[in-house]
Amino acid sequence: MEKITEYLIQSTVNTSEVKAWEEIVMLPTYGIGKEEKNPIFLEKRVYQGSSGSVYPYPVIEKIEDEKHDRPWRAFFIENEYIKLMILPELGGRIQMAYDKVKKRHFVYYNQVIKPALVGLTGPWISGGIEFNWPQHHRPSTYLPTDCMIEEFPDGSKTIWCSEVERMFRTKGMAGFTLYPGKAYIEIKAKVYNRTPFPQTFLWWANPAVVVNKDYYSVFPPDVNAVFDHGKRAVSSFPIATGEYYKVDYSAGVDISRYKNIPVPTSYMAINSKFDFVGGYEEHIESGLLHVADHHVNAGKKQWTWGHGDFGQAWDRNLTDEDGPYIELMTGMYCDNQPDFTWLQPYEEKSWVQYFMPYQKVGMVKNATRDALINMIPEEGGKMKVILYTTAAHKEVRVMLTNTENGKIYLDALTAVAPDNSYINTVDCDTQKMEELKLTVLDEKGKVLVSYQAAKPEIKPIPEPAKAALDPKKIASMEQLFLTGHHLEQYRHATYLPMDYYMEALSRDESDIRCNNAVGLLLMRRGRFAEAQKYFDRAIKTQTERNPNPYEGEPYYNLGWSKKMQGDIDGAYDAFFKATWNAAWQDSGYMGLAQIDMIREDYTNGLDHIDRSLYRNWLNHKGRQLKVSFLRKTGDFAKAEALINDSLAMDKFNMGCRFESYLIHTLQGNTEAAAAAKAEMKALMRGAVHSYLEYAIDYASAGMYEEATQLLSFVAEGNEATYPMVYYALGYFASKMGKKDEALNLYKKAETMCPDYCFPNKLEEVLMLNDAMSLNPEGAKAPYYLGNFHYAARIYDEAIACWEKSASIDDTYPTVLRNLSLAYYNKQHNPQKALATLEKAYNLDTTDARILMELDQLYKKLRYPHRQRLDFLEAHADVVEQRDDLCIERITLYNQLGEYQKAYDLINSRKFHPWEGGEGKVTSQYLLCRVELAKIAIREGRFADAVRLLKETEKYPDNLGEGKLSMAEENDIHYWMGCAYEGLGEEALAKEYFTKATKGSAEPAIAFFYNDQQPDKIFYQGLAWRKLGEEDKARSRFNRLIKHGEKHLFDKVKIDYFAVSLPDLLIWDDDLNVRNQIHCNLVMGMGYLGLGDKEQARKFLSEVARLDINHQAGKQLLEMCG
């Protein structure tokens, strides 16, 4: 145990009270590399089943190998039963949850902060409870949050963590509450859409628990089936009887038990009518349970790395001495990953969820916040009843009755408490659980919990989800719209909603919903004028027969497109018309009130913001706007009352906090104003993107003076800040008619460090366009705007902006690097891409990211291996900064036949793989050993060959990866058989040849690291031949040939349910060419196996022509002689 752990678990509360405090703790921590300064556009990355795009966040791709004690800001909250430590600097996670009754961490406590490359943007740590929103894993899981303590009259205390995330600009809050005398954590969560457009979100609380052979997950009794990500696969539960995650469970395996799952596996329950999910350790009779209303808490999930070597490697990556662990996730407003719910403009969704330790109960049958129960049939007509409560009760009533005949088997009064569970074994004259009802009542007769089993029935296993059809293959307009809408809602990585909407409009250009959807997509991308055309078309159809349409959304969206174009009068008319429809009154009146403020029409503005708030009392931006109106009209008393009311709802309503500062200033209360400002700045902790959000709130209502004053806070004491701060200040000045001041601010923005400046707010499009108009000599504004356009998939505009930037200043490497990506991937001009990227790297030969991208481009362009290797060796110090570059160097040594050099390089480095990108270094580890073993066999050094091949049985720790239990290694087993054959050990040779025949005999193209490589079937055939089964051998070879012939001309696209595509992240790949390589490869292998080396050479030479980097093709071609 780390020394700090002993300190952290010490009790400071022994009576029925709650303490909450902040302190700095020194935790052993492995460092991370710097954020990547180049924008990362991961358009085709698949992550957790949905888009893995990270923009506007930077990524971190390096993990340090040494740990040091590091100070962390920590918030503690404790009562007599539970002690929590929350780390706001790591996403506001519960890092430690300690059960003081059992003296155990009831949530997995990882004693070190040891990140691995698992998160959306890189670093992620295991342990504690992570809160994932607006998607999984949370983009800001390794970033700081706002944090504060709130106290309540009942003695409870809450630690709040809050954040405005950058990707979708939603605001999320979690309040961690402990009550005196209660052995549970209450979490009050809120997600608020700060934008005027619909957004989607999911929320998965992600508690980890330590596991061992005695651990099982506790799912409700009505869960009979579980789904994989995206519902792409399904299994019965808890007894799996088919194949799941490529593991054969057909014998009937209990997958609720950790010990039975050998590989990384997720499963998510079908909808349950129960409110709980958890897990239990049998040997210590203790567990963790989550309770929340199942109407909201639809998601119940378990994830494990698996107990095999692969999982153990990830445990080593994530901890020094703790683990293994699993995750027992709970999804709010979602039941799967991905599964997203809509948030309408300015909408807040909130809920309450509970986590609690428990003991003795085991496989819970039902649970509430107050009590957990189990019923276990025993021999002799007995029933074991177990009760655990989360508070002390002097006298609860426990009743077990027969609902068929009214007979009472148990009616007992007993004292219970978190440290004193109730256990009783009762004589029953029935073993039919469905006839028995267990009820627990408190001292006042209130039911704490009850349970009666459902009647036994055979429940159907649901079908897995089906892939979306291509737009052309969808017959109905309805399905085209619904499919596009689904792709938007679920943030699909590779299927584009626009394709479906435009296909529908090609059939009927007047379709209301598709026109509105296209317009909204375009508006989100900053194409305001273009979007207006589609809203106009939707409205034209809507009002063809009725000037007062049923649906007001197109009018509302039209209002925003006009407002963003500066047509305030047109926007006002459109917003007003939208308010004729009740569904759009709160956001429509909000839009009107903003324009009223611009016009300084405070009377109408107050009326309109009141009408908005009547419909949406939780619109925190609307509350700030009303306070602003009251301040403008001098009604300070009402303003301050509304501020207090608003802060009671949301302590992090920074707009209202700023209004408090303004009102105190206007009243001459300098001390109160200073205190309000200081408190606001302390809470915001200099978070520049949050300052921009709140300043934009004011600017959207024309309050540019206030916006300027608020945003200026962030630069106080340090003028060197994020460039968009000065672009925003310049824009505010420009809108106030102060053009000279605006120009100076725009010029100042140009001098700020451009690293990590990745604009994504629509208002920033207006700012940067204005900057380019007033300061046409500025090179950075078009660069930043190009970043926005490229991330928004407006490629022509992006290229034009970047080219303009480069024409002004061609010495900034990143703009040239960005142009290279666009030239190759969008304009399909590889030579132009090459020249631009080479220039970028020559401008900064320390940029390891650009070096990696340049080498990958050389690889795409079929540069000779020796030339690429010499280039990398010439920049060896930069290569050493990145695992992927080191792996590429190793790969090149293998391709050049310098296997010993590759061998030595692999042994000399510790690697940190990305989750989902495994298999890179391990494939080279295997290849060099197999090739060295083949050389040894040819030279008669059979013992050396055996030694080398034995090294493949378990990967060394430095690779950062373990071997999957179902890894197919037919080639290794075949060559091992040959080595033993050479040693004259016929029994061992036969054993390995027999092993080499195992596995699927059906060829398929391999996309993912755990897919079977097609050459494994070739080695099956060779092994059958060694065993004297020529017919079986020829069968394998003929299958390879037939498969290649059948699929050579297939049109291939990315699988709808793709999980991870690590090879498609930088330079676009032609999947049809990849299919041709695959088909020629398998035909070449087939003919090689049949002894037709001429035909084999023909097909394998085509593989080499199409891809000179194909290692298996190279090895097989060498076997042709």
What are 144-197's pLDDT values in tens digits? 999 999 999 999 999 999 999 999 999 999 999 999 999 999 999 999 999 999
Same domain? For 181 and 241 the reply is yes
- Residues 353, 297 within the same domain: yes
Q: Are 1004 and 1074 in contact (CB under 8 A)?
A: no
Q: Count the Cβ atoms, other than its own, within 10 Å of residue 481.
A: 21
Region 738-754: mean pLDDT is: 98
- 499 inside domain: no
Give the single-character DSSP code of 916: T
**Backbone φ/ψ region at 635: left (φ over 0), alpha (ψ -120 to 50), beta:** beta
Tell whether 384 is covered by a domain.
yes
Residue 623 included in any domain? no
For residue 673, name the pLDDT band (cuts at 50, 70, 90): very high
Instruction: Residue 437: give its domain's CATH number.
Output: 2.60.40.150
- The Cα 1085–Cα 1117 span in angstroms is 9
Residue in 26, 1, 41 with CA at minimum distance from that of residue 818: 41
Scan for tokens 């701060």, then name that residue. Answer: 725
Q: Say yes or no to pLDDT of 1011 above 80.
A: no
Cβ neighbours of residue 511 closer than 8 Å, sequence gap 6 or more: 477, 481, 504, 505, 541
Residue 131 to residue 226: CA distance in whole angstroms: 22
Q: Which domain holds residue 925?
A: 882-998
CA dist 492 and 44 (Å) reads 9
The pLDDT confidence band at residue 1062, using thresholds 50, 70 and 90, is: low
Give the residue carrying structure tokens 């159809």. Answer: 541
Q: Is residue 616 part of a domain?
A: no
What letter would DSSP give residue 965? Answer: T
pLDDT band at 3 (very low <50, low <70, confident <90, very high): confident
d(CA 538, CA 598): 28
Are residues 953 and 1064 located together in one domain of the fold? Answer: no
Is the same domain home to 329 and 401? no
The one-letter code for the residue type at 654 is M
Say which CATH number the domain at 892 has: 1.25.40.10
The answer to whether position 569 is within a domain reads no
CB-based contact 1111:927 (threshold 8 Å): yes
The pLDDT, as a whole number, for residue 841 is 98
CA quadruple 557, 560, 562, 568: dihedral positive or negative?
A: positive
Residue 431 confidence (pLDDT) above 80: no
Q: How many CB atoms sit inside 10 A of residue 24's CB?
A: 8
Are 78 and 215 in the same domain? yes
Among 358, 392, 408, residue at a domain's last position: 358
Output b/e per residue, 314-334; b: 16+ Cβ within 10 A.
bbebbbeebbbbbbbbbbbbb
CATH code assigned at 1079:
1.25.40
d(CA 501, CA 481): 6
Task: Give the domain-ending residue among 963, 998, 1033.
Answer: 998
Whether the per-residue pLDDT at 672 is higher than 70: the answer is yes
The CA radius of gyration of the chain, in Å to the nearest whole number, is 32
In the prediction, which pLDDT does 564 show?
A: 98
Q: Is the pLDDT of residue 243 over 80?
A: yes
Cα separation, 57 vs 166, in Å, equals 7
Spatial separation of the C-alpha atoms in residues 342 and 351, rounded to whole Å: 15
Place of tokens 């080479």: 838
Residue with tokens 């009214």: 406
Mean pLDDT, residues 253-264: 97
Query: CA–CA separation, 753 vs 4, rounded Å?
Result: 39
What's the whole-number mean pLDDT along residues 487-491? Answer: 96
Whether the pLDDT of residue 670 is over 70: the answer is yes
* Domain containing residue 106: CATH number: 2.70.98.10
Model pLDDT for residues 353-406, shown as the tens digit of each residue: 999 999 999 999 999 999 999 999 998 889 999 999 999 999 999 999 999 999
pLDDT reading at 1063 higher than 80: no
Type of residue at 7? Y
Indicate if the pLDDT at residue 228 is higher than 70.
yes
Structure confidence by residue, pLDDT tens digits, 581-596: 999 999 999 999 999 9
Calpha distance 375→410 (Å, rounded):
13
CA distance 791 to 812: 20
Query: In this predicted structure, what is the pLDDT of residue 1007?
Result: 66
Average pLDDT rounded to a whole number, residues 514-538: 98
Average pLDDT of the residues in 800-808: 98
Residue 478 lies in a domain: no
Checking if the pLDDT of 733 tops 80, the result is yes
Tokens encoding 7? 């300190």
> What is the Cα–Cα distance from 442 to 393, expressed in whole angstroms?
7
Phi, psi for residue 613 in degrees, rounded to 5: -70, -30
Question: In 616-751, which residue ranges form alpha helices assigned H by DSSP?
Answer: 620-632, 636-649, 654-666, 670-684, 688-700, 704-712, 723-735, 739-751
122 and 252 share one domain: yes
Q: Tell me, yes or no, whether 973 and 1075 share the same domain.
A: no
Question: Is residue 409 helix, strand or coil?
Answer: strand
Closest CA to 203 of 357, 348, 58, 98: 348
**Average pLDDT score over the chain:** 96
Write out the H or E segment, with its range, that includes residue 96. Answer: strand 93-99
pLDDT at 1061: 64
Which range, of 2-16, 615-629, 802-816, averages the lowest pLDDT? Answer: 2-16
Q: Are 268 and 399 in a shared domain?
A: no
Are the C-beta atoms of 656 and 687 separated by less than 8 Å?
no
- Same domain, residue pair 257 and 320: yes
Among the ranges given (452-466, 827-841, 873-887), the one the predictor scored with the smallest mean pLDDT: 452-466
DSSP string across 273-308: SSSEEEEEEGGGTEEEEEE--TTT--EEEEEE--SS
Q: Quick one: pLDDT band at residue 1110, thresholds 50, 70, 90?
A: very high
Domain tally, the chain: 4
Average pLDDT over residues 405-425: 96
Residue 1004, number of CB atoms within 10 A of its CB = 15
- Residue that finishes a domain, picked among 436, 452, 468: 452
β-pairing verdict for 325-332 and 203-210: antiparallel
User: Where is 765: in which H helix or E strand?
Assistant: helix 762-774
Which of 1109, 846, 694, 1111 is closest to 38 using CA atoms?
846
Which phi and psi (to 5°) does residue 163 adopt? -155, 145
Specify whether 983 is located in the same domain as 1119: no
pLDDT at 965: 86
Contact call for residues 228 and 203 (beta carbons, < 8 A): no
Judge if the upstream peptide bond of residue 324 is cis by omega within 30 degrees of 0.
yes
The Cβ-side half-sphere exposure at 148, using a 13 Å CA radius, reads 18
Q: Which of 694, 664, 658, 696 lies closest to 679, judged by CA?
A: 658
Report how far residue 665's alpha carbon sits from residue 681's, in angstroms, rounded to the nearest whole number: 16
- Give yes or no for residue 430 having a pLDDT over 80: no
Lowest mean pLDDT among 910-924, 961-975, 994-1008: 994-1008
- The rounded distance, in Å, linking the Cα atoms of 569 and 601 is 14
CA distances to 126, 826, 859, 960 from 963, in Å? 21, 38, 28, 10
pLDDT for residue 1 is more than 70: no
Under the banding of pLDDT at 50, 70 and 90, the label for residue 941 is: very high
720: how many CB neighbours lie within 10 A of its CB? 8
Q: Are residues 16 and 157 in the same domain?
A: yes
DSSP E strands in 211-275: the ranges are 215-218, 225-227, 234-236, 239-240, 243-244, 247-248, 253-254, 265-269
- In the chain, the N- to C-terminal Cα span, in Å, equals 59
Q: Rounded to whole angstroms, how far apart are CA atoms 984 and 431?
A: 64
Handedness of CA 129, 130, 131, 136 (dihedral sign): negative
CB distance 370 to 448 below 8 Å: yes
How many Å separate Cα 959 from the centre of its chain? 25
Does some domain include residue 856?
A: no
Q: Is residue 560 part of a domain?
A: no
Contacts of 647 (CB under 8 A, 6+ apart): 653, 656, 657
pLDDT at 602 over 90: yes
Question: Does residue 348 sit in the same domain as residue 388?
Answer: no
Query: In 167-318, which ranges are continuous DSSP H helix?
Result: 309-318
